[in-house]
Amino acid sequence: GEEVHILRHVVTEPRSLAVMAELEIEDVPQNVNFPGEEEKILAYWDEIDAFKTSLKMSKEEGRPEFTFYDGPPFATGMPHYGHILAGTIKDCVTRFAHMSGYHVERKWGWDTHGLPIEFEIDKKLGIKVRQDVLDMTVKKYNAECRSVVMKYAGDWKRVVRRLARWIDMENDYKTLDPSFMESVWWVCKQLFDKNLVYRGYKVMPYSTACSTPLSNFEAGQNYKDVSDPECVVSFPVIGAESPVSLLAWTTTPWTLPSNLALCVHPEMEYVYVEDAKSKEVYIMAKARLVCLYKKETEYKIQKSVVGADLVGLKYEPLFDYFMELKGETSFRVLSDNYVTSDSGTGIVHQAPAFGEDDMRVCLKFGVIEKGESVPCPVDDDGRFTEDVKDFFGMHVKEGDKPIIAHLKEKKRLIKSGAIKHSYPFCWRSDTPLIYKAVPSWFVKVESIKDRLLNSNSQTEWVPSFVKDKRFNNWLEGARDWAISRNRFWGTPLPIWHSEDWEEIVCIGSIEELFELSGVRITDLHKENVDHITIPSKMGKEPLKRVDEVFDCWFESGSMPYAQCHYPFENKERFEKTFPADFIAEGLDQTRGWFYTLTVISTALFDKPAFKNVIVNGLVLAADGKKMSKRLVNYPDPEIVINAHGADALRMYLINSPVVRAEELRFKEEGVKDVVRDVMLPWYNAYRFLVQQVRRLHLDEGIVLSCKMSESIASDNLMDKWIQAAGANLIKFVGAEMKAYRLYTVVPRLLRFIEDLTNWYVKMNRKRLKGGNGIKEAETSIKVLFGVLMTLVRCMAPFTPLFCELLYKNLRLLVPKEQRMDSVHFLPFPEADLALVDERMELKVRRMQSLVQTGRTARDKRGISLRTPIRSCTVMCPNKELTDDIEELKNYVLEELNVRSLTCTQEEGDMVVRSAAPDNTILGRRLGKAFREVGLAIKELTNADLMTYERDGKLEVAGHMLSGDDLKIARAFNGDTETMQAESYEDVLALFDCGLDDALRQEGAAREIISRVQQLRKKAALSVEDNVEIFFATEDATVLAVLAAHMDTIKATTRVAMLPADQKPAYLATLIESQEDINGGAITLVLTRAAMHCSPEKCAALCGGDFSMDDLQAAVAAMDVGEARKALADGTIKVAAKGKDVTLTANEHVFFTTAARLAM
């Protein structure tokens, strides 16, 4: 409820160029717009061509190469937080590598082929089935695809630049480039020549919307919980003594028209059961009677058999579609161990064209023959063919209900309903997948499984569990990889074959194709190669190319080679820098890019494609759901960046669980918190340093000169501590970044920022301002500069824009020969190990813990830090800890504003201990005995627990406890009316919070000082702006405070506070505010400082047209700072109304109202 009037902002007079020329460092404004400053830095980088310049420098220096592969995204959509996260991780690591002495080329790539592109065109052109494409011609279709591949490339470039990521997007690679595609052909030929590529007819995950099979890992990318129809169907046994039917259960009724057999488990118990209601007899697994019946009274078991007894039984087919297959092998019972008793009836219907196990079992029992003659009445678009006449042209998923109705009419339906289960959807079209037998080209992954595992063992993953568990398990169960797609827009498979498949040729280059066919091409897309034939060497008809194109995952897995057109170009360089030192992507790429990279590199070279990988988790919306454009459940990334800054977003993302492969629920408030808790305190520490450098220059004429890396000799404990912490930080960050552990690095960096801003600067504020003398001020300023420069260089990979902002100004304090145009051109700082002092860091940590505990105690009592309290007593049996607190006693007294501090190991009867078991440790170790021990722990006495502390062990209920088995808490056993007791670790701290008038007065004085400082901020005054302070109050309590503590107020504000009636009329008011000080009202007025004439001494200098008012006006108009320097020799000349007057300091003129009044 303060009423504040800002009447006029101060206008600082320009300093003389002679004075300011010596000091280059620029003043720093109080208010900062981080996004705006970032835009200026980006413009500066453009001006100096920063990224290219850094690469040029590192190359000219002959640095060793650090190889980085960037997984190519599609440019058919805007970048989202997942892209931003992965990009930030990549940028942090590659910037660090550059600063660590490597040449780091960073090349952007685009995934331009495959389903994402085709699906966009299918939507645009209304294409429903494969024939639609053939009707419009592949050439026109692919031209449409080519037109949209780079649709959002401009947006990507804008966002990537705004995020401060350094990567070459001009000399990028695209998977549609002929050079890239040719290298993909070369990869395929290498695999083909190694007998690792074959054509097979297998049941594959199949997208009917995209008319193509998918690989197993693609099918696992998009599972959804859905409701599907379920039904139990009867299969009457042929030749049974009395009517009996086998019962099979399915959740895919559309596969029933293709049924060719039934399968049981050979060892499972099956029963002939009579239905009490219908009197029909069924055969089903005994363990699955619950599928049909709720009560035992609803059925009667006639006999029991095992599955093997049922093998060979023949049954009546459901439909008459494939009756030509009816004979000794089809429409009978088979057996296999894959049948389970956890769902259905224990009898599984077999449609070999639509189930992998179905295909395997039917082949084993001779129901079908190996090849492509398996009945598969579903076309490429997922519609029934003429073979299924009753449902011809119907999409299979639309056929479920009509098929169930048909079976009901034929009295073959026993039960129907719905089941909710997890089902795979196409990752691109978001439509349900089916499993369908299709001819496809495969890489023999299963045959190189051991080699894959060996390659994986040569890599390092962060976090490591992804390598050891998730990825290793995936490799253990790896299946042959389907690399072909029945699509159009992609790299065509370079395989030509004869009609009978006896002659097959795999082409590995454009030149080889020319040599064999006589046709030279420059573009390898389908429309340009499909017509090319190769003469047969076996006297057959000319060889034709297979119809398929590569899965785009094969292309991205080939990118290490294809991005540099290996082996046709850059052969020596590639082989020198392969495998990559580093890659990074999301956890979902475990079965995607990480996998395909590993398969191809192992097959080609028997080594992994990368040495180190960081795996990030998924960024979800704030509600824990997947981010969705349709639901609009997340803020637009560019809006967040423009509101809070790219560095704040970067820091929010990489200081979250997501860098440990865990999930992050994105909240914009978290980005705001980074600005408030990290960026602003850091900025204010930097601003404070600049203010003190400029103050030192203005007040003392000292031009500070610092070195880029320098340890400052000092006896001050805080100087030693912060320099030790800085050296340890460099050591830690260097080691952890080399191990790619961002999740340990960023928290440590943020802790150091906290130490610097909230502890070092705060505890040394008076000293930095010169309160302990010029020499101490100069030393502490140099220490602060050194630590800030260290922090800027350490943080540069993580917050590159903000660090550049600070560096551009801070570098002006170092000799010109040490300056670089960018902080990113500097090497990562080297730790001065002589400065590392972990013992000193421990001392300060202990002091900080006590101070934080004291602040908590004050909060509980509602006592402001500005009000002093009487005493603090620290009780702890650890003498080292109490000695450390004693050594840093003065800092505790000042930080907690406490009059006295006592440390002791003697606690008498003032401390009472209690203990609780560590449930995790003891529960695991003691098992059933844990309950008895837990009860006994509650009964332990104070003396028992003191013994445990002293000896480190104690027997409880017959079990020896030690170490961390017990968690001991301390409580105060005394008068708590004025004493606030707080326990932490093995310390009990007592704070005497009883207040008397003297303590309250001192607190009020500090409050007045604080209000004055706040008014300076509201008036936008810098430290260099001189002011005078006046007050008005009728409150006796406030007047008493002023009377008792005016010297303290003056010492802090650097000017006397005077009653408002003593304010000269010629002083311009800057800001005026009515304040409440502990219930007492006071009006504070800040005016612009001016020189004051002595009427008595100056009267003789006036006369005629030149009055005293004229002289005072002329003097008051002068800048106080300039006048101080001009009066350095004792006098100053003033011109007014054509008359020159010489004035003497402290005789004719004074710098404050108080000084004039005192004469």
626 labelled catalytic: yes
Assess contact for 689 and 792: CB atoms under 8 A.
no
- 334 C-beta neighbours (distance < 10 Å), count: 25
- Token pair for residue 330? 């089809």
- 650 C-beta neighbours (distance < 10 Å), count: 30
- Token pair for residue 428? 């691109």
> Does an H or E element contain 261, and which?
strand 261-264
560 labelled catalytic: no
Q: Which of 194, 408, 571, 629 is catalytic?
A: 629
- 176 C-beta neighbours (distance < 10 Å), count: 24
Assess contact for 1149 and 1092: CB atoms under 8 A.
yes
Q: 796: helix, coil or strand?
A: coil
Assess contact for 247 and 233: CB atoms under 8 A.
yes
Assess contact for 74 and 799: CB atoms under 8 A.
no
- 1037 C-beta neighbours (distance < 10 Å), count: 16
Scan for tokens 């802090």, then name that residue: 1052
Q: Please provide residue 274's backbone torsions phi and psi, each rounded to the nearest 5 degrees.
A: -95, 125
> Does an H or E element contain 97, and which?
helix 81-99
- Token pair for residue 809? 């100004």
Assess contact for 655 and 649: CB atoms under 8 A.
no
Angle among Cα 463, 464, 466 to the nearest 5 degrees reads: 80
Contacts of 574 (CB under 8 A, 6+ apart): 560, 561, 564, 566, 567
Contacts of 822 (CB under 8 A, 6+ apart): 45, 48, 50, 53, 54, 804, 807
Q: Please provide residue 1125's backbone torsions phi and psi, each rounded to the nearest 5 degrees.
A: -70, -40
Per-residue DSSP letter, 240: -
- Token pair for residue 964? 């961390």
186 labelled catalytic: no
- Token pair for residue 750? 């943020």
Q: Which of 190, 350, 563, 589 is catalytic?
A: 589
Q: Is the previous residue joined to 797 through a cis bond, with omega within 30 degrees of 0? A: no
Q: Which of 474, 489, 593, 721 is catalytic?
A: 593
Assess contact for 19 and 1123: CB atoms under 8 A.
no
Q: What's the rounded Cα separation, in Å, for the pair 88 and 1099?
A: 71
Determine the angle formed by the axes of helices 717-738 and 742-755, rounding to 10 degrees.
170
190 labelled catalytic: no
Q: Tell which phi-psi region holds residue 252, choosing left (phi > 0), alpha (psi between -120 and 50) or beta.
A: beta
Q: Which of 35, 45, 70, 72 is catalytic?
A: 72
Q: What count of Cα atoms within 13 Å lies in the side-chain half-sphere of residue 1028?
A: 27
Greatest CA separation for the chain: 144
> How, if at all, do strands 333-335 and 261-264 pair?
parallel
Sign of the C-alpha dihedral computed for residues 622, 626, 631 and 636 taken in this order: positive
Q: What's the rounded Cα separation, in Å, for the pair 774 and 767?
A: 9
Adjacent-strand bridge partners of 440: 200
Q: Which of 70, 91, 111, 400 is catalytic?
A: 111
- Token pair for residue 738? 């080399």
Q: How far is CA 516 from CA 125, 508, 527, 537, in A?
A: 38, 11, 19, 10
Assess contact for 1106 and 1139: CB atoms under 8 A.
yes
Q: How far is CA 911 from CA 484, 901, 943, in A?
A: 75, 18, 11
- Token pair for residue 597? 């990279």
Adjacent-strand bridge partners of 1056: none
Q: Which of 185, 249, 427, 553 is catalytic?
A: 553
Q: Tell which phi-psi region holds residue 510, choosing left (phi > 0), alpha (psi between -120 and 50) or beta.
A: alpha
Assess contact for 409 and 179: CB atoms under 8 A.
no
111 labelled catalytic: yes
Q: Which of 626, 860, 967, 1137 is catalytic?
A: 626
108 labelled catalytic: no
286 labelled catalytic: no
- Residues annotated as catalytic (active site), given as ranges: 72, 111, 553, 589, 593, 626, 629
